[in-house]
Amino acid sequence: MIFKENSLSLDFTNYRAKRGSLLIAEPFMKDGFFKRSVVLLAIHNDKEGSLGFIVNKPIKNVSLADVVKIFENAKDWPIFFGGPVQTSSLFYIHTLGDIVEDSKKVADGIYFGGNFETIEKLVRNDEASPNEIKFFLGYSGWGENQLDDEILNNSWLTIPASQKLVFGKCVENKCWQKAVLQTPHFYVAHFPEQPHLN
């Protein structure tokens, strides 16, 4: 038995991470940062390690306008907690690879980074929406082989990223459940966070 919680056994080891994967936290993960999280993996290689963004944890009662003053018109634009590394830095992913120069393709229709002046212009001129650009404070990072080891230890499920899930309106546990339902382990989507209380 590789993973146990109240006599339940799960084996996620037939999955592997790669750039463009979504990492889905196993249902009983207790880590405060990653509990019930869905992470878009933007970088995953031997040289750089792994870098991703938690896509389902908006920072409560904080808008993009609150964090970046030049975006004063973005009072209804959410900003997300991307992970516990460099939480004072702003990062972004988007669907606008044809418009934003120097973007790095992560998956079909999903891009990371690129020219910030273009991003700024699009947001300030109301020429883009939160369905097209997602902003984060901080990122999630793993050293060489660290993430692969976590997957082998059944901490994460992985599926290919999709625009619908990454940029959709679902957040928190609903987004986590939607992601889990796309895996062969769909039956864990409705597991309680604290099964011993049931």
The number of distinct structural domains making up the chain is: 1
pLDDT in tens, 12-57: 555 678 999 999 999 888 888 999 999 999 999 888 889 999 999 9
**What is the pTM for the complete model shown?**
0.88
Mean residue pLDDT across the chain: 88
For residue 184, give the CATH number of its domain.
3.40.1740.10
Percent of the chain with pLDDT over 70: 89
Average pLDDT over residues 90-107: 97
By C-alpha distance, which of 43, 19, 47 is closest to 140?
43
The answer to whether 53 and 91 are in contact (CB under 8 A) is yes
Provide the domain limits for residue 33. 3-197
Residue type, 35: K
At residue 126, the 3 state secondary structure works out as: coil
pLDDT in tens, 71-89: 999 999 999 999 999 999 9
